[in-house]
Every structure is written in C-alpha cells, then in structure tokens.
Structure 1
C-alpha cells in the first residue's frame, strides 16, 4: 500500500520508518503516535528528498522541540560564517533549523544545509523570491511565488512558513483596528505590501489548493505563518491576531483534507497573564494542530536580553500547549546574531522546553533533574557536568574559581550544606574552622 505523506500513511494504518524512529525517541507506542498523526495533532516534518534527516515529531504528548533561525542577509552575507552556525546548532542538538536567507547564494546555502543536516529544515519561501527572480516585490507573479515553494520542496525542505492567513478579510480587520507596531512579521509584511501594491488577494490564500498539491507531492509540512503576530505587548491578543488565527483554523482543515501536515505559528510579544488564554484559543480554533511559537517575549524593554524574556514566555506557553519553540537570541531586534548569541539563545530555549516538559509530565523529563539532584547530593562534580544542559560553561565556571576543598565550591566553602549534611547523616563531625580529623 502506497502513501503520499506521513498523514496519509497514518490514516491508512501504515507505520512508516519515520514513525518508528519518533515513537522510540518519545517512548510512545507507535500506534498511539500514528493515531495522533492521523488526527493532525502530531506532525513529522520529513521531506522525501531530505535524505540526511533524523526525524522528529512535533505535537501533543511529545517533547517540546526547538528551532534555530539562521541564514545569509544583505548586510552579513558571509556564507562560511552561517555554515559554522549550522554546525553549532547541530552539535547542540537543535531539532530544527530555519534557513531565513534573503540575499546572495541562497540556493547553494540551502542545498548544503539540507545535505549536511539531520535536523529538520524550514524556510520562508517569500524571503527567497525577490533574490531568486531578481525582481522587485510588486512585480513577482502569483505563479512565481508558488514556483519558489516547489523549488524548496525539490531541494528537500521539511517545512515552509506560508503567510496564507493575511487575506483581504484579515487585512480589512487590520486596517480598522490600529496597532502600535503594525505588522512585524517580515514575511507577513511582504505579503501585505504585495497585496496593497497590486490590489489583489494574497496569492497563497487564493491559490491555496495549488500550494497544498506541492506540499503533498514532497510531504512538506505547512507551517501557517502568523503575519499578524503582536510585535509589542500592546498589540497582543487583538482583533488582527485573532482574526488571522480563525482563518488559519479554516486553512488547517483544508490542508488535512489533502493529507498535508500542518503547524500553526503564534506570538510574538505578549504579557505573562495572556499566554495561557492564547494557548487555549489557538488549540481550539486550529483543531489541536501543533503550535509553533516565537517566544512569547513577555516584555518589550530588554534588548540584549530577549533570550531571557523569550524563555520565560516559552516555558509558560509550552507548559500550556505550545509544542515547538523558536529560539530568540540576545541579538533580537538589534543585529544578526553571532555564534555566541546563538549559543545563548539555544541554551535559553532548551531550558524553557525542558521546564515545560516537566510540567507536561513528558516521559523521562523529570528523571534528568533527579539524576542532577543526586549528583549534587553526592558532590559528584563530574557527573553534574555530564548532566548539565551546557557542560562547557559549567566546567569553565568551576575551573575559574577553585575551592580550597574539592567537596565544596567557593560560594560556601566548608559551610556547604550538602557537604555538612552528608557528614552529619553519616555520624561524622563537622569541622568548619579547622582541618578535618
């Protein structure tokens, strides 16, 4: 029995090799996983042409995954530098990489990235369109937009962000309901500008059926982009955001009719107290499809520290239903991130994802923390480093400030509670002011 996509296989009762791998990673019965894929609650982004892929699942009951954004820009077109970032992201076990290249050798970079990456690869095809055709935005035709998606599919891209929800209806709501920061999604703003300049419907909405045919052909997971995501906490949960989310819910059902896997993209900037409601609304309006969030960033006043504002929001969002976190670096809003910015962003996002997995009772999540606590109780520093989310930094901090006594650290010395409690529990004396007996 043949199948076109992972969803098509699941609906036919076929267990694919990708399902088997994901089920083993997630400690989930493969038949349970298959049912979730058939229902659209889990996706396995796995383009048929991505031969180096080590598949991952995204969605209900699975570990929270993280994505790393990188790519070549006009101001920073260093091909080799971006490949170095790719290698770091892979070394740090990011489950996904989005190539957001918008200038120069985009095709060459994308093909090399896909060829070397076991992580799933995503793109935003509209970023590539201007450079690919060497045309101004307004001169690109509807067919040309779709042809770029097809090209990315042939190259092996596993998921594509498509801003199909910013149609004429959504645009009208946006115009009637003024926002502080307007449309901050880069892809969303490009689509909106194209619509306004040409006085036409969004081509990805108007030709959505043709888009789905391309996605089904290569088993590209469509990541329905949030053009109207809030770019400030002032704009969170407003009419434009909710209107677009309603459209995305309708587009989700249309995709599922064609056996195309779907993720939904979400906010953005958002106050802490609105995050839980947004997770509930998204899951309700979009029929349980996996939710992919940027942040949410819980305050607007921390440039240089937005990996922290994002991790706070991401942990809350994922613990209440978000399935996939897009990392944010300290360079957000300021510049293209450096290697070190990337490292900090990945670590912050991994912390948020793991904290959420504990809250969601994902199998095996809390056992990691148990092992760390046991190593701390035993003052087993080497084991602590092995278990650390960032072993390199933990080792460096320990080395940079060496204690007098190896069973302590320079914060507490011989007053270390772990050290002293271990001695007392073993019936030993505690010598704080003099050498041990």
Structure 2
C-alpha cells in the first residue's frame, strides 16, 4: 500500500465489500482501479459475517471467476434454519426450515485487490467535476470552476458531461480520476457532496451488537449450533399479525470453525453504551447539545472508547460496558441459553452500532457523470432482509459490465448502470 498517483483511471472511495469487489472486477478487465480507504488499515478480521444468496454469487462469479470458489472454500452453507418467536404473554412459536429453502453461503472476508492499489488513511471530504475543452464536443465555454454542488442545481440531463473529477481527502493530496465511485457507506461524504441538501442517514430504531468467536467443534461454547445451522430468535410475532420485536438475536455457523452471534435491541433514539456512563454534553443555556441525527454525539463525533472509536454515532468495537449490557438484556428476557456465547466472547471483539438507512435517490450519478454511488452510499437498508452486501455486489457487477462496454464514454456507462440498478431498487 504505497502512496497513490496524482491521477488514476478509477478512484473507488471505500474499501468495503462493494468497493473491493468492483476493484477486482475492473482489474480483471484491464482497468486500473485504485481504492481509497479512510481507515489506517484494512480489516482482515471483522466482527461480522456476510450471507450470500444466488444473486450475489452469480454477480461475484462474473466479476472474477475465482471469487465464488474462494467463498465456498472459506465459508459454509447454512442449510438449516430454526426460527424462535417469544411474543409477550403468548406461547413460543418454533419454525424449522430445511436446506432447499435456506441455502445461504456465509463468509467472513476475502482479500481480492493487489495491495499496491489500496491506499489507507485517505478520508474523502468531497469532489469537484472539471469541464474543459477536452471534455467538450463543441466550442461552448464552460466554467471550469463549476463544482458538483453548483452543477446539481440544474437538471442533470441539461448539464454537459464533465471531463474529469477531482476527489479531495483530509490531510492528503487530491486525486484526479476519469471516474470516482462513492462506495463509502451509509455516512458517505461523496453522497453528501453530490446532494448537499440530502437529509442524511435515518436511524431505524435498533441498536446492534455482533461478534465472531473461534469455536471449532464447539470447543469454546458447546451446543451453540449444529454444523451449517442458523438460529434466529425474537420476542415479537410473525404471522397474521406483526409485532416489532424489542429483542432479536442470531447465532450461526460462520465457517472455518467460527460462530457468529448478534443481539439487536429496539430504542427510540440511538443509545450508545459510552453515553450511558456519562451525562450528555450541555450548552451554555443548559440544554442538551447533542441530537439523534449524530447518535447523541456532539459535533457529529462520539467519544466512545475501544478500537473501533464511535465516529458520528456509528458505534465501534470493544466499547467498555457493551458486553455487560448485552448479558443484562438477555438475562432480563430469560434467554439464558444465549448467555454462554456472550460470556465466552472477549469484549474487545464485540462490535456495537446503530442501524441506519438512506432515503432513495432518483439518480446515483453526479450532474457531470464522472462520479457515481454504489452500495450503502446509494441505498443503505435495514439488515433484516439480508440484501445489503448482496445488493452491493450486484451494483459492482453491473457497473463493471457498463464500464467494460462503454469505457470510452464514461457518462454513457453511468447512465446504463443507473437504469439497471435504480430500477432494481424501485
């Protein structure tokens, strides 16, 4: 991971699943895509997992033929699912589904891009699109100082395609690219630059804790699950009526000897563990200074400790008190069979976060058609449907196909990509 060149063909902002998958697909087709990641290093190990259905596996296989086999080798097929419902004041409901209904490939992580094309410590702050004579097909003068923000004020179809885009970083030199892809997640700075009046992430009413623990053969926690099994429990009810559960939990085989667990609790506002141990910051007039939009964190930053560092109310890994909080909630619900898993987990491995989505957009491309969104930056959704990572892989696949066909005309490629993917997301 060396310093990036000042000009690249494709600048992908964000080294998450969608960004790395896109880079892998473009490299295979001879396009030098550079990935810029805000964190100081890539996470080779995480506290989460990804469930992939047939749609995602098909997309990954076309991006790079080695990816599905790597996933099958590193992951596991969860062929059996057990759903347990514990509605208040009613008898429990247990539903078991067999392999034909639940085949799901579960993976942890895969390194798919040459390290020299991945640049960490590059936190994007925004971008400009450049119009100049090389990007014109007639002699009309265009203001080269026009930016994404000013350009978005007019109808996208009325704006002439830009020639290049320049992406800016905090404390790092800017980089010029033929195409900039914002794959930078639900709190995307690229989306914020593209749509400065966008309302921002919407809190979905749930706090989430999850972890992967090494549990080969049940040596750490016996009877956590059967091989290839997914177990889900909540205190709501599915059927003729739907009661939104205030407590939801998952445990499953994550492959390679790992067990994944997750506990989700309902809160009207983001409620981070670090904020429970201290009074909220107060302004001079005595009113609370923090709001729900930032997870209760002033100026968009939480001071939660732990290796994850809760930035802008997003939670973090290893937050002190998070393990005890999960144990207390499970005990109060009487779910004692879940306790051994959490008790056996080091607090440093538990990841805490609030769940957010984004308002759907009519367009994912900038007015100059040199910047485009992908994955959660475009369509963050509640994880309950299990489609977040799968949709990001489909985005990467369709954008790769469009660029392969129309690389000489990037604006046309982005229009093709938008029509394909925005229609899919309705």
- Pick 1 or 2: higher relative contact order, CA cutoff 8 A, min separation 6: 2
Pick the structure with more helix per residue: 1
**Which structure carries more strand by proportion?**
2
TM-score bracket for this pair, using the shorter chain length: under 0.3
TM-score normalised by structure 2 residue count? 0.26
- TM-score computed with the length of structure 1 as normaliser: 0.26
Greater C-alpha Rg: 1
